[in-house]
């Protein structure tokens, strides 16, 4: 919300609104604090289907530690997770499972598609009958990582990009339309 | 869109409503299943009556895809099947094409291939050790295992270009020559790892809690192991002598000195011990070879377009999980007519029900850890 | 036993087997309705003892299908390959689950991808594809314009 916008009331609104001087600054500062807190403690969901899961495990272990960035606690249950890192190929049989996991996560939630298979089907694009050509056919994705498998540093770069995206406070549609 | 619970109606081994039986699902998304494996377990209290694996959650139709790839191209798909032994899988594919074309590869390439194979086997066993310990509840070994594994990944990355799925083997030899630092780094690694492997024994093998969880759990007799088609450490833990490197030696394995590790314990602890000893044997093999790599070509001259003659060819190698086989049926063209990958995981998994009956549900994780499953290998 | 001794032994016991030349292992063709007897004999005979079935697959030759079984013996270390032709109208063959337990999963996979029915199988269901999948993908005439993107 911009500080300069005036608040228009609908007719049935009971009472009178007194615009306070400086009220918009207070709310947007709280927004910033909330976004900072959210981005610095994202808890990923343990979801690795194939080879990229090993690089995700490498990122979690001591050499390329991701808990420096706040991703320490990798939860196994979607109810307690914030971000789902789709590491691996999604096939037709797994797609309803992925959708169900995504629905079970509480808002606000984000999605990272790791690797070529989750981005677009990857090396299994041509002549396969059972591969979903890209995880974004199933759930909306925020960050895509290229590579087969991507290096742990690439995954860390994607996590930092996601943190910057959350701190900016913009929605997916706003980013797409170039705000 | 959501799959309704058709699981309860599709388990033919139990009847619905039988007194005291409960059917639960483990997976497909579960931290301990090492991939997407869906197990439907029928329990009576905490004792397992029946375990039924539901597969196919990572079935990427590799065999159909390979029918439209040439003989140089299909090798990359096997890297992604059992990604922890990716060099060994690629090696098998390259061997099968060389067998069909009857190419003789230079000695330098053979030595390089075997050293990389054994390094891959070490890396795979290290990850197995760390992941199995984490599943059972000991989190620390996971980080120790990855510390060592990162050293091997660095060596691979310098020479082959990638950390996990290296397409370094080609029909005729290897793709590039070794990096100049290779020998020095491998020797440093061997010296470092020799002291660490004793540390592994100190942390986990002698631990009384670990032994109580693994001993007497998941028993499969020798005849059953053969009947279920188990290979690799799963079968060698029950006394079956099935190491492809000894029975059907390929490359230069017949001239290297190493022992085949067989343990007659038949339980999970025996399979654990087999893998720990195999790590030591791999170190021994690398030590014998690393100083004697002959000079010469790293790749034999082959035609640009490879065409296998009409017929069928079966080649087998010993991966970290068991016997991996490639069965090519060729009609003389540039692409295979039919490829079948004989994966070690599918046969090992079919013995899971037999091993888990009668045990508690907490033991199921220990049994799965000791079989060392990699699900994309099973589903292909 | 060497290949020559195996050949003699098997041609005495089963005169109806047809040899296929040109492969590295001894390869025989058998009729689909005689497969169960042959399998029993191969596994239980004292001098053969083929107790390890290491590869079970199927090949689609457009006019017919061929089932391929690779057997080896852990005691004698000899290997034999048995093949069996199946007509497209009658894709049925006896199961060998009670002889080699590894066949349970492998036969389910062949049923799933090729459509071959195994008689007396304890649990013949699809293994790798969803239960409501139409068709059998690894057949050569399988068409799937939605999923399969041709190069």
- The 10s digit of each residue's pLDDT in B162-219 is 888 888 988 988 988 888 889 999 999 999 999 888 888 888 888 899 999 888 888 9
Give the domain ranges of chain B.
62-379
List, in sequence order, every beta strand (DSSP E) within chain B. 21-26, 38-44, 47-54, 169-170, 173-174, 311-318, 323-330, 338-342
Query: Residue B236's pLDDT band (boundaries 50, 70, 90)?
Result: very high
Report the pLDDT value the prediction gives residue B103, as an integer from 0 to 100.
87
What residues contact residue C90 under an 8 Å CB cut-off, 6+ apart? none
Report the pLDDT value the prediction gives residue A157, as an integer from 0 to 100.
92
Report the pLDDT value the prediction gives residue A166, as an integer from 0 to 100.
87
CA distance C105 to C56: 10
Task: Quote the distance between the C-alpha of residue B326 and its chain's center.
Answer: 14
Report the pLDDT value the prediction gives residue C5, as an integer from 0 to 100.
80
Report the pLDDT value the prediction gives residue A23, as an integer from 0 to 100.
60
Report the pLDDT value the prediction gives residue A35, as an integer from 0 to 100.
85
Report the pLDDT value the prediction gives residue A146, as an integer from 0 to 100.
92
pLDDT one-digit tens code per residue, B263-274: 888 889 999 999
- Which tokens hold the place of B134? 């984490």
Report the pLDDT value the prediction gives residue B13, as an integer from 0 to 100.
53
**Is the distance from CB of A22 to CB of A52 less than 8 angstroms?**
no
CA distance, residue A93 to nearest chain C CA (Å): 6
What residues contact residue A151 under an 8 Å CB cut-off, 6+ apart? A55, B163
**Contact check, Cβ <8 Å, B35/A100:** no
pLDDT reading at A151 higher than 50: yes
* Cα distances (angstroms) measured from residue A157 to each of A64, A66, C131: 11, 10, 40
Pairwise pLDDT comparison (B58 vs A21), residue with the higher score? B58
Alpha helices for B102-136 (secondary structure H):
107-136
Report the pLDDT value the prediction gives residue B2, as an integer from 0 to 100.
39
- For residue A127, give the nearest of B56, B68, B127 by CB distance: B68
B379 vs C: CB within 8 A: yes
C92 vs B: CB within 8 A: no
Please indicate, yes or no, if residue A10 is contained in any of the structural domains.
Answer: no
Pairwise pLDDT comparison (C56 vs A25), residue with the higher score? C56
- Tell me: cis bond preceding B13? Omega within 30 of 0 counts: no
At the topology level, CATH places domain C3-94 in Beta Polymerase; domain 2 (3.30.460)
Please indicate, yes or no, if residue A176 is contained in any of the structural domains.
Answer: no
Which range has the worst mean pLDDT, B39-43, B80-84, C7-11, C89-93? Answer: C7-11
- Which tokens hold the place of B298? 């790293």
**Is the distance from CB of B300 to CB of B173 less than 8 angstroms?**
yes
Query: Residue A12's pLDDT band (boundaries 50, 70, 90)?
Result: low
Report the pLDDT value the prediction gives residue A9, as an integer from 0 to 100.
59
The residue assigned the tokens 């020095």 is: B184
CA distance, residue A113 to nearest chain B CA (Å): 16
CATH number at residue A130: 3.40.50.12280
The residue assigned the tokens 């499972």 is: A97
Task: Quote the distance between the C-alpha of residue B272 and its chain's center.
Answer: 14
A125 vs C: CB within 8 A: yes
Over the range B255-267, which residues count as b (16 or more CB within 10 Å of their CB) and which as e? eeebebbbbebbb
Say what the ipTM of the complex is.
0.92
CA distance A159 to A154: 9
Report the pLDDT value the prediction gives residue A114, as an integer from 0 to 100.
92
Query: Residue C62's pLDDT band (boundaries 50, 70, 90)?
Result: confident
C29 vs B: CB within 8 A: no
The helix/strand/coil state of B24 is strand
pLDDT one-digit tens code per residue, C111-148: 999 989 998 888 888 888 888 888 888 888 888 888 78
pLDDT reading at B353 higher than 80: yes
List, in sequence order, every beta strand (DSSP E) within A12-82. 44-45
Please indicate, yes or no, if residue A22 is contained in any of the structural domains.
Answer: no
Pair type for strands A110-114 and A143-145:
parallel
**Is the distance from CB of B72 to CB of B281 less than 8 angstroms?**
no
Report the pLDDT value the prediction gives residue B6, as an integer from 0 to 100.
43
Mean of the pLDDT values across residues A72-89? 87
CA distance, residue A96 to nearest chain B CA (Å): 6
For residue A80, the enclosing domain spans 38-157
Report the pLDDT value the prediction gives residue B319, as an integer from 0 to 100.
92
- Which tokens hold the place of C50? 């083929």
CA distance B267 to A4: 73
CA distance, residue B59 to nearest chain C CA (Å): 6
CA distance B225 to B238: 7
Give partners of C (≥3 CB pairs < 8 A).
A, B
Task: Quote the distance between the C-alpha of residue B285 and its chain's center.
Answer: 18
Report the pLDDT value the prediction gives residue C89, as an integer from 0 to 100.
87
pLDDT reading at B78 higher than 60: yes
pLDDT reading at B9 higher than 50: no
HSE-CB of C53 using CA atoms within 13 angstroms: 26
B62 vs C: CB within 8 A: no
What is the full DSSP assignment across B36-86? Answer: S-EEEEEEETTEEEEEEEE--TT---HHHHHTTS-TTTTHHHHHTTSGGGH
- Which tokens hold the place of B320? 């970290």
Q: How many domains does chain A have?
A: 1
DSSP state of B89: H
Report the pLDDT value the prediction gives residue B139, as an integer from 0 to 100.
87
Please indicate, yes or no, if residue A57 is contained in any of the structural domains.
Answer: yes
- Which tokens hold the place of A50? 């194939």
pLDDT reading at A16 higher than 80: no
Mean pLDDT value across chain A = 83
* Cα distances (angstroms) measured from residue B181 to each of B32, B192, C17: 37, 17, 58
Pairwise pLDDT comparison (A1 vs B313), residue with the higher score? B313
Please indicate, yes or no, if residue A59 is contained in any of the structural domains.
Answer: yes
**Contact check, Cβ <8 Å, C129/B56:** yes
pLDDT reading at A25 higher than 80: no
Chain A residue whose CA is closest to C144: A129
Report the pLDDT value the prediction gives residue A21, as an integer from 0 to 100.
67
pLDDT reading at A179 higher than 60: no
To the nearest whole percent, how much of chain C has pLDDT over 90? 8
Report the pLDDT value the prediction gives residue B340, as an integer from 0 to 100.
92
Please indicate, yes or no, if residue A135 is contained in any of the structural domains.
Answer: yes
**Contact check, Cβ <8 Å, A129/C137:** yes
Give partners of B (≥3 CB pairs < 8 A).
A, C
Please indicate, yes or no, if residue A19 is contained in any of the structural domains.
Answer: no
Among positive and negative, which fits the CA dihedral C40, C45, C50, C52?
A: positive
Mean pLDDT value across chain C = 86
CA distance A126 to A42: 35
At the topology level, CATH places domain B62-379 in Cytochrome-c3 Hydrogenase; chain B (1.10.645)
- For residue A126, give the nearest of C137, C144, C149 by CB distance: C149
Give partners of A (≥3 CB pairs < 8 A).
B, C
pLDDT reading at A13 higher than 90: no
Which chain A residues touch C151 with a CB distance below 8 Å? 126-127
């Amino acid at each position: 919300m911009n500080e300069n916008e005036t608040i228009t009331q609908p007719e049935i609104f009971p009472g009178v609104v007194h615009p306070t001087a400086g009220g918009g600054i207070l709310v947007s500062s709280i927004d910033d604090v909330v976004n900072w807190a959210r981005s610095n403690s994202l808890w990923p969901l343990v979801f690795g289907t194939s080879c990229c899961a090993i690089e995700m495990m490498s990122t979690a272990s001591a050499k390329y530690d991701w808990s420096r960035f706040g991703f320490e606690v990798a939860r196994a249950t979607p109810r307690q997770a914030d971000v789902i890192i789709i590491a691996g190929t999604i096939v037709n049989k797994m797609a309803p499972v992925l959708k169900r996991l995504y629905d079970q996560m509480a808002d606000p939630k984000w999605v990272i598609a790791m690797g070529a298979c989750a981005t677009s089907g990857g090396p299994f694009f041509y002549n396969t009958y059972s591969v979903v050509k890209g995880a974004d056919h199933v759930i909306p994705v925020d960050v895509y990582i290229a590579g087969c498998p991507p290096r742990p540093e690439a995954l860390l770069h994607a996590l930092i990009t996601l943190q910057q995206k959350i701190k900016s406070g913009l929605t997916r549609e706003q980013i797409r339309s170039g705000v | 869109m959501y799959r309704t619970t058709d699981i309860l109606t599709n388990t033919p081994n139990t009847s619905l409503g039988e007194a005291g039986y409960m059917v639960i699902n483990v997976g497909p998304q579960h931290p301990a299943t090492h991939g997407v494996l869906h197990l439907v377990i029928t329990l009576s209290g905490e004792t397992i009556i029946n375990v039924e694996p539901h597969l196919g959650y990572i079935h990427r139709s590799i065999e159909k895809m390979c029918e439209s790839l040439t003989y140089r191209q299909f090798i990359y798909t096997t890297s992604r099947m059992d990604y922890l032994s990716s060099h060994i899988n690629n090696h098998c594919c390259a061997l099968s094409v060389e067998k069909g074309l009857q190419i003789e590869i230079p000695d330098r390439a053979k030595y390089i291939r075997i050293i990389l194979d054994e390094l891959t086997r070490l890396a795979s066993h290290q990850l197995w050790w760390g992941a199995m310990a984490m599943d059972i509840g000991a989190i620390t070994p996971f980080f120790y295992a990855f510390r060592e594994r990162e050293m091997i990944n660095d060596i691979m990355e310098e020479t082959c270009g990638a950390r996990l799925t290296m397409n370094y083997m080609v029909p005729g030899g290897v793709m590039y020559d070794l990096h100049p630092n290779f020998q020095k780094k491998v020797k440093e690694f061997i010296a470092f790892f020799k002291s660490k492997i004793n540390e592994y024994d100190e942390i986990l093998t002698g631990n009384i809690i670990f032994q109580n969880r693994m001993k007497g759990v998941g028993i499969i007799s020798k005849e059953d192991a053969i009947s279920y088609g188990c290979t690799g450490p799963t079968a060698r833990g029950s006394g079956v002598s099935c190491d492809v490197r000894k029975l059907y030696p390929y490359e230069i394995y017949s001239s290297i000195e190493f022992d085949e590790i067989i343990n007659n314990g038949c339980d999970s602890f025996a399979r654990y011990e087999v893998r720990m000893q195999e790590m030591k044997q791999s170190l021994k093999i690398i030590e014998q070879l690393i100083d004697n790599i002959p000079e010469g070509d790293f790749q034999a001259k082959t035609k640009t377009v490879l065409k296998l003659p009409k017929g069928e060819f079966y080649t087998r190698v010993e991966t970290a999980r068991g016997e991996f086989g490639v069965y090519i049926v060729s009609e003389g063209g540039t692409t295979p007519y039919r490829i079948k990958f004989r994966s070690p995981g599918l046969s090992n998994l079919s013995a899971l029900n037999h091993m888990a009956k009668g045990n508690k549900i907490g033991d199921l994780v220990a049994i799965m850890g000791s079989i060392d499953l990699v699900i994309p290998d099973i589903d292909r | 036993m060497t290949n020559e001794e195996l050949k003699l032994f098997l041609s005495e016991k089963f005169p109806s087997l047809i040899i296929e030349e040109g492969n590295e292992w001894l390869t025989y063709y058998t009729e689909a309705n005689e497969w169960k007897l042959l399998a029993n004999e191969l596994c239980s005979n004292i001098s053969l003892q083929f107790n390890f079935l290491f590869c079970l697959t199927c090949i689609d030759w457009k006019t017919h299908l061929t089932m391929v079984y690779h057997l080896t013996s852990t005691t004698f270390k000899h290997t034999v390959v048995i093949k069996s032709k199946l007509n497209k109208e009658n894709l049925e063959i006896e199961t060998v689950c009670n002889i080699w337990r590894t066949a349970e999963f492998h036969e389910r996979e062949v049923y799933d991808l090729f459509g071959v029915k195994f008689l007396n199988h304890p649990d013949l269901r699809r293994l790798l594809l969803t239960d409501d999948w139409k068709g059998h993908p690894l057949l050569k005439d399988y068409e799937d314009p939605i999923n399969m993107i041709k190069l």
